[in-house]
Amino acid sequence: MKKLLEKLYVTNTLAKDEIMYILSNINDSLENDLFRLANLTKKNHYGNKVYIRGLIEFSNFCKNTCKYCGLRCQNKNINRYRLMKNEILECCHRGYKLGIRTFVLQSGEDSYFHDELLVELTKEIKYLFNNTAVTFSIGEKSRTCYKKLYKAGADRYLLRQETVNKNLYQNMHPRMSLENRLRCLTNLLDIGYQTGSGFIVGLPGQTDEILAEDILFLKNNNFQMVGLGAFIPHPDTPLSSYNQGSLRKTLICVALVRLLLPKTLLPATTALAVISPDGWNKGIIAGANVIMLNLSPSSARENYEIYQGKNDVSDEAEISLQKVKNDLKNSGSQVDMGRGDYIGWNY
């Protein structure tokens, strides 16, 4: 195990069976070594900086039926909402006043927000808020739509592969296809976005072999951003009775991704904070270097419940920012409110 960790730190590469071995056999002592090496790798490239993003959840309508997600169209126990353009811009204005320079616009797959409306929104954000980055996380779109948004000024796009195991993907995502998911990711990379992908740790049916394949998929595509979260069951989904994903295994995956993709932008996700009161800090220690603060109106935050407990950590952005600053200062990290682009990226 020590030899594997040393190889990983020095070469930033591992084979599938080696990743599986670490996932299955690492003990507490060597786990601390893994986190130390991941954190050192992060500091070698980004120093002590942790980038702050502003998240705007602008619609919880979704056409999909993903079995783990509370936004699934078959959930009748959710109050649906859409933020109009002026409301989204007000969220941006609020975040801009706080010093935030990256806005992450996230929604379910909602056809109400057609290409032209999204293009208009992108252009207005870039015009009104100087030197900001716009990130979309709105699911599978056509290559034409992705190109329009990129031309309008969108900088980044988040689309998790969820899993590259076809059987697990089809089981978790009825009515969807892994082929189209991967096609969308290829299109985003080709167009020139800073592209993010990732997966959920602890889904029913997931094995260490599947996790290793998903980690290698991220490595082989050299994604500029990676989002990893633990599975948290939602009561209004078919997976409501399944056990929550492991915080420990999620953090191990975060550290492995950091070491395999040293320059990637890697959030300490909200799911970590739901599972553990100091989940964000644990994510930072494991190699993460991004935190997203929720700029959405309180009424929207209450109803954007992908998984249970998410709203329990969604304080007002001003309060969350101060907490994050205090926590990071105590752990030796430094808040960076800038755009926080991928190293060497020209925009």
pLDDT digits (tens, 9 = 90+) for 168-177: 999 999 999 9
Nearest C-alpha neighbor of 71 from the set 134, 139, 122, 119: 139
Nearest C-alpha neighbor of 345 from the set 219, 224, 191: 224
Output the pLDDT for position 176. Answer: 97
| 185 domain residue, yes or no | yes
| 202 domain residue, yes or no | yes
Output the pLDDT for position 314. Answer: 58
Amino acid at 345: W
Output the pLDDT for position 344. Answer: 86
Give the model's confidence band at 152: pLDDT under 50 very low, under 70 low, under 90 confident, else very high.
very high
| 142 domain residue, yes or no | yes
Provide the mean pLDDT of the chain: 95
Total domain count, the chain: 1
- Chain Cα centroid distance, residue 227: 3
Domain that holds residue 135: 14-307
pLDDT digits (tens, 9 = 90+) for 73-110: 999 999 999 999 999 999 999 999 999 999 999 999 99
CA 276 to CA 289: how far, in whole Å? Answer: 18
**CATH assignment of the domain containing 197:** 3.20.20.70
Q: How many H helices and E strands in the chain?
A: 14, 8
pLDDT over 90 at 316, yes or no: no
| 338 domain residue, yes or no | no
| 329 domain residue, yes or no | no
Both tokens assigned to 322: 């101060």
pTM as predicted: 0.96
Instruction: For Cα atoms 213, 51, 265, give the angle at the middle one, nearest 5 degrees.
Output: 20
Long-range contacts, stretch 112-115, CB < 8 angstroms, 24+ apart? 112/59, 112/61, 112/82, 113/58, 113/59, 113/82, 113/138, 115/144, 115/145, 115/148, 115/149
Distances (CA, A) of 43 to 48, 49, 107, 302: 6, 8, 32, 36
Rounded mean pLDDT, 45-67? 97
Give the model's confidence band at 121: pLDDT under 50 very low, under 70 low, under 90 confident, else very high.
very high
pLDDT over 90 at 331, yes or no: no
| 250 domain residue, yes or no | yes
- Which of 76-80, 272-276, 317-321 holds the top average pLDDT? 76-80
Output the pLDDT for position 330. Answer: 80
Rounded mean pLDDT, 161-172? 98
| 3 domain residue, yes or no | no
pLDDT over 80 at 112, yes or no: yes
Output the pLDDT for position 334. Answer: 92
| 82 domain residue, yes or no | yes
Output the pLDDT for position 30. Answer: 96
